Structure 1
Amino acid sequence: MSISNPNNHQFATPQSLSDWLRPRLPSDSFASWGVTPGTKNVDNLWLEISEGETSLADSTPPIRTVNVVTVRVIGKNNLILLESHQELSDGSVRDRCKPLSEKMKPNETPQAAVFRAIKEELGSILNDAGAVTIVPGSYKEKLEERNSVSYPGLPARYVLHTVDVVVDGLPEGDFCTEEAEEYADSEEKRAAERAVSVKRHFWKWVSPESLQSS
C-alpha cells in the first residue's frame, strides 16, 4: 500500500500560499503562525505541500490532510521510545511526548516511511549501524481529526499508520539526536531557511502503561 495526494493544491511560492490562506483563516490565528512558541510558519506549510506531505482542501477554513507514520520503537524490557521534546531553530522548546513520527511522502509505503523516519530522526546516533526489524502483524491505521498545534486555526485530518519496530544500537538511557539538513540549493532550501525547523530531538524510554495513560 502506498499513499498519494492526487488533489493536492500547489502553490508556486510561500507568498502565494499566504495570500490564499489569509482570507480563509481567522486573522488572529494566522498571525500567530511562527510567532507563538511551538507553532510553524507559512514556509513550513509550503514545504509540506511542495514535498507532497500535506494536501489542503479548498474550503473555509481549509482542511489539512496528512499521512503520518508512527514508529513505536520497542526496547529492552518492552520499553517504548518516546520523543519527550524538541529544540527548534527559533530557540523554543516544543513538548512532544509521542513515539517517533514522520509525515509520509507521496506514493510511499508505510514500511518505506518507517525506515526513512528512523534514518532521519535517529540516524545521527546510529551512524547507519542499527539494524531495523519491523514486528510482524503490528501495523495499524487510524484516522484522527483535530485542530493543528503547529498551524493554529487550520483543522487537520491525520491518517496515522502505526508500526512496531526493534532498532539495534540505541542507548538504553535518555539521549538526543540532531536533525540533518534536507534541501539542496533551491526555492525549497530558501523556504527551509525561513521555516521553523527542528534542531534536536530528545528521547526517553517509557513503559507501555505510561504511554497508554498519557
Structure 2
Amino acid sequence: MENSPPPAPAAAAQATRPDPVHRPEDPAPMRSPSPLRPPVAFPTLDSLAVFLRPRLPPGALASWGAVPGTKTLANLFLELAVGDCALHAPADAAPPPAPRVVRAVHVATVRIRNSRGARLVETRQLLSDGTVRRRGPRPLSEKMRPGESPEAAAARAVREELGARAHVRILGGDGARVEERESASYPGLPARYVLHAVDAEVVDGVPEDGEFETEETGEDDGDAGAGAGAITVKRHYWDWIDDDDDDSDSERKEVAAAGARAH
C-alpha cells in the first residue's frame, strides 16, 4: 500500500558513533549509553527553562535560536509536548563530565530509491527565520512519536516533507542502532538518538531526476504560547545520489547524519 507502513519488524539495537553535525565544530561525543530515569514532564515553558539552566554549560541556553542552524527553547517545549522527544536524567549518579540530562529521540530514516536505484537525499532546508540550513546529504527522516512504528513515521514523513502528491511504497525496516552525542539543534544538551532505518521506493508523484524542492506541511508555526518562538522548516531541497561501488559506508554516514543533524 502506498505511503502506508507494513507491520513493523523487531528492532535490534547496536551502539555506534554518529558523524559530524551541521555546526563547524564537532560536538563532544558522550560516554557509552547509560540507564535513564523516567522522562521529566514540564507544564510550562518557564518550568523547562528552570530545569535546564543549571544542567547545561554556561551560555548554552542563550545560544539556542541565536546561533544559525539551532532551535529555540520553544522548539524543545513543543517537541516534548507532542512526544517527539523526552528529557531524562541518567539513572546513575556519576560525577561530571557525566551528563545531568539527556534528550532521547527515536528517528525513522527513510532510504527512498527511484526506478534506477538512486537514493533520495535532502541537501538543505529553508527555515522560518530565513536561515538556510545545510543538511548533508542525508535521507528523509522523521522524529517518531509514542506508540508509532518506524514504518508509520516514515509514511508520515513522506506526506509532510514530500507532499500529498508523493506516492512512495514503504518496504520495511532492518533494525535500529543507538548513537549519542551533543544535540546539534540544542548546543550543550546531550542527546541519545535511536535510529530506525526504513527502506522505500518511489511509485509516482516525485521527480526522479535532478534536484527539486518541496514545501513542509507538518510543522506548525504556532500563533500563541510557546509556538510563537519556535523556528520551523518552510522548504526542503532534494537530490538523487547514485551508488558508487555499493558504498555502504557512505550510506551509513548519511543515515547517521539524519539523526545528528536534523534532530
TM-score bracket relative to the smaller structure: 0.7 to 0.9
Q: Distance in 2 between matches of 1:8 and 1:82?
A: 32
Give the aligned partner of residue 57 of structure 1: 88
Secondary structure of 1:135's partner? strand
Give the aligned partner of residue 177 of structure 2: 142
Secondary structure of 2:116's partner? helix
- CA deviation map 1:12-59 (0-9, x unaligned): 121210111011101222211000000001111111111111111125
Q: Distance in 2 between matches of 1:92 and 1:101?
A: 20
Q: Distance in 2 between matches of 1:184 and 1:29?
A: 24
Q: How many pairs were matched up? A: 206
Q: Could you tell me the TM-score, scaled by structure 1's length?
A: 0.87
Alignment partner of 1:103 is 2:138? no
Secondary structure of 2:43's partner? coil
Q: Flag structure 1 segments of 5+ consecutive residues without an equivalent.
A: none
Alignment partner of 1:76 is 2:115? yes
- State, as a whole percentage, how many aligned pairs show the same letter: 47
Matches for 1:168-207 after TM superposition, within 5 Å: 168=203, 169-172=205-208, 173-180=210-217, 182-183=219-220, 190-207=225-242
Q: Which amino acid aligns with 2:118?
A: L
Q: Which amino acid aligns with 1:175?
A: F
Contact 1:81–1:203, Cα closer than 8 Å, also in 2? yes
Q: Flag structure 2 segments of 5+ consecutive residues without an equivalent.
A: 1-7, 12-35, 91-98, 254-263
Q: Distance in 2 between matches of 1:18 and 1:132?
A: 40
- CA deviation map 1:112-152 (0-9, x unaligned): 111111101111xxx34x3322235x423111111111000
Using a 3 Å threshold, how does the CA distance of structure 1 residues 7 and 102 change in structure 2: closer, same or farther? same
User: What is the CA-CA distance between 1:183 and the residue it aligns to?
Assistant: 4.7
Q: Distance in 1 between matches of 2:143 and 2:157?
A: 9
Q: Could you tell me the TM-score, scaled by structure 2's length?
A: 0.71
Structure with the higher helix share, 1 or 2? 1
Alignment partner of 1:23 is 2:54? yes
State the superposition RMSD in angstroms: 2.5
Q: Which amino acid aligns with 1:52?
A: G
